Structure 1
Amino acid sequence: MHMADALISPVVGGSMWALTAGMAVYSAKKIEKDMKCSINNNHGFDEKKIPLMGVMGAFVFASQMINFTIPGTGSSGHIGGGILLAILLGPEAGFLTMLSVLGIQALFFADGGLLALGCNVINMGLFTCFIVYPLIYRNIMKKGCSTKKIWIASIISVVVALQLGSFNVVLETLLSGKTELPFITFVLLMQPIHLAIGFVEGVITACVVSFVYKTRPDIIQDAEAKNYKMSFKKLIITMAILTVFIGGGLSLVASSNPDGLEWSILNVTGKAELQDSNSVNDKLASIQEKTAFLPDYGFKNSEGGLGTSVAGVVGGVITLGVCGGIGMGLKAYKKKSSNINQSINN
């Protein structure tokens, strides 16, 4: 559901960028505050989740490369990962991780436009982490955690989040004056196809969360921190290995069908992408062409093959470094602030 720049106007794109920046600042401050107060385990952000933040960012990056076919439609979908990140990291760290994933995709792999980056973060990050996760997932889980409840909460949350995100895509194109995509026609295509995609993603999310719950229940909010079947280090290594397998191997067999957004646009306009040439889009396209060293997850002027595997692994490593770096940076800032406050009090 990565929007291209041609789908939105500079005003809408700039507004979503501003909202994204505001939410990023809020998230960073909230995480830093949580670490200052030593809030851990089932409340706030635990410092031990910093390496998990990096690994899960890489996992979501790799997983988004795997498009699965939606039978009988000619369309495909991929996981968004926002609910998964919120469950395992908390809403603020989940949002920052999603921002990192989408930013890396846009800059280095030309997946999603630079102007549309704010829209994509809001559609796949804000709705999942700050609306659906606290209002739906947490409410379902508030009376105790179990595998059954994880499955129910995960599937419902992902489906609702994807419906909100896909509907917001329609609103963003409407507000951008894209008359090629009539509101009623576009929404009647977007919502059903993303309902199917959401159900598949919900199942995948439930599988991952259930695995973590059975091995390290302390990571899952509202779960009792006992009966560890795997050390935290082994969990990180397991997820890292799975990320490499997905990005470097499974990405080669991903569906080539257009994703839900492209499929909807194709059925409305007869083509999978819109074209909109203006000074802002042209400038950003020029920047993206220079920064994207593996466009469309492959070597330039080639399709699939080794380039896809390389892109999956390289993208995962970059995401791991960026997400982990954000966590370490917040930890260092927290420590510096604590030292300054302690010096003042003394």
Structure 2
Amino acid sequence: MHMADALVAPAVAATMYVCSGGAAGFSVKKVRLESDPKKIPVMGVMGAFVFAAQMINFTIPGTGSSGHLCGGMMLTALLGPYAAFLTMIGVLLIQCLLFADGGLLALGCNIWNMAFYGCFLGYFLFWRPMMKKGMSRGKIVGASILGCVVTLQLGAFSVALETLASGITDLPFSVFVATMQPIHLAIGLVEGLITAAVLLFVYEARPEMLSCSEERAKSRFSFKKTIAILGIAALVIGGAVSLAASSNPDGLEWSMERLTGSTELENDGTGAHAAAEEIQEKTALLPDYGFKNSDSTFGTSFSGIAGSAVVLVVCVGACYAFRFFKKKKS
């Protein structure tokens, strides 16, 4: 559901940068009040995991469309809303700059649509209330599915609102919404099941890693081993499983194709659009998750592994640069 620059007007892009930046600033303030240094490796490893998982487009049967994980609900269940939101920003920033996945001008929109709802509404509307009186496998599955479905619906609706405000006449609002919402309902259901599977693994392996967990039962694995397993999974998904990703257009591209006959729209090539495109051309070393001017599958594998590693370094590095999760002095 990464929006391209052609879908947003500069004024809308600027507004969404302000909204996403405000949420990011508030999140930085909140995480600096926490005193849990163990969140630092979790942010890095789970950021890498979400990056790799987003490379796996799964087919939506009978539609000709595909979908991929957003990851906000998964991260918020492990890190809480504020650290999860900052981790998602790291993922989306690397995707945008290094892989040209999502426009630079539209980055504020993509952060809001794909990270804000999943991390904040997913946590405060679903995860925390459902775990308030104790955690169980059933509650984890229920919160995962409900959270992913509802927050992805909100994200898809926001895309339509942003194109409406941008005056994109090729995508009439009512028809665009009627096309976007059903396909993202199906995508949200699949994401909910994937999210539930990952969180159930953590619940079995190291339940205290989950937000709102009050489990005192003996863990199956140590913290380091659980982190190592998730890290290895990220490398395997990014380096190998990504090769089996569906080639069908994702929900946004599919919706655009049904309305316009194309999965892409052309921007005006001037002003802010031109400047953003020029910057991305310089920073995108692996455009579309591959080597430039090459269709080699090795490029996809390299992109999955390298991208996961870069996200991990960025997330962990930001924690130390901004002095997140410092131990409180006794």
Q: Which bracket does the TM-score occupy, shorter chain normalised?
A: over 0.9
Partner of 1:82: 72
The answer on 1:143 being equivalent to 2:133 is: yes
Which amino acid counterpart does residue 169 of structure 1 have in structure 2? V
Question: What is the rounded CA distance, in whole Å, between the counterparts of 1:134 and 1:211 in structure 2?
Answer: 22
Which amino acid counterpart does residue 12 of structure 2 have in structure 1? V
Partner of 1:41: none
Q: Report the alpha carbon displacement of residue 333 of structure 1 after superposing the two structures with TM.
A: 8.6
Which amino acid counterpart does residue 266 of structure 1 have in structure 2? E
Q: Report the alpha carbon displacement of residue 334 of structure 1 after superposing the two structures with TM.
A: 4.6
Bigger shift: 230-239 or 18-27? 18-27
Bigger shift: 86-95 or 303-312? 303-312
TM-score by length of structure 1 reads 0.92
Partner of 1:106: 96
Partner of 1:258: 249
Which amino acid counterpart does residue 92 of structure 2 have in structure 1? L
Gaps spanning 5+ residues in structure 1: where?
36-45
Q: Report the alpha carbon displacement of residue 259 of structure 1 after superposing the two structures with TM.
A: 0.1
Which amino acid counterpart does residue 22 of structure 1 have in structure 2? G
Say if 1:331 and 1:226 are closer, same or farther in 2 by CA, change over 3 A.
farther
Partner of 2:170: 180
Contact 1:218 1:226 in 2 (8 A): no
Partner of 2:17: 17
Say if 1:332 and 1:212 are closer, same or farther in 2 by CA, change over 3 A.
closer
Partner of 1:234: 225
| SS of alignment partner, residue 76 of structure 1 | strand
Question: What is the rounded CA distance, in whole Å, between the counterparts of 2:300 and 2:174 in structure 1?
Answer: 36
Deviations 1:163-198 (A, max 9, x none): 000000000000000010001110011000000000
Question: How high is the sequence identity, in percent, across the aligned residues?
Answer: 56
Partner of 1:315: 307
Contact 1:173 1:181 in 2 (8 A): yes
Bigger shift: 228-237 or 124-133? 124-133
| SS of alignment partner, residue 80 of structure 1 | coil
The aligned length equals 328
Q: How does 1:88-237 map to 2 (within 5 A)?
A: 88-223=78-213, 224-237=215-228
Partner of 1:284: 276
Question: What is the rounded CA distance, in whole Å, between the counterparts of 2:212 and 2:72 in structure 1?
Answer: 19
Partner of 1:274: 265
Question: What is the rounded CA distance, in whole Å, between the counterparts of 1:82 and 1:222 in structure 2?
Answer: 16
Q: Report the alpha carbon displacement of residue 148 of structure 1 after superposing the two structures with TM.
A: 1.0
Partner of 2:297: 305
Q: Report the alpha carbon displacement of residue 104 of structure 1 after superposing the two structures with TM.
A: 0.4
Question: What is the rounded CA distance, in whole Å, between the counterparts of 2:295 and 2:137 in structure 1?
Answer: 41
Question: What is the rounded CA distance, in whole Å, between the counterparts of 1:97 and 1:153 in structure 2?
Answer: 20
Partner of 1:6: 6
Bigger shift: 98-107 or 300-309? 300-309
Q: Report the alpha carbon displacement of residue 219 of structure 1 after superposing the two structures with TM.
A: 1.0
Contact 1:47 1:331 in 2 (8 A): no
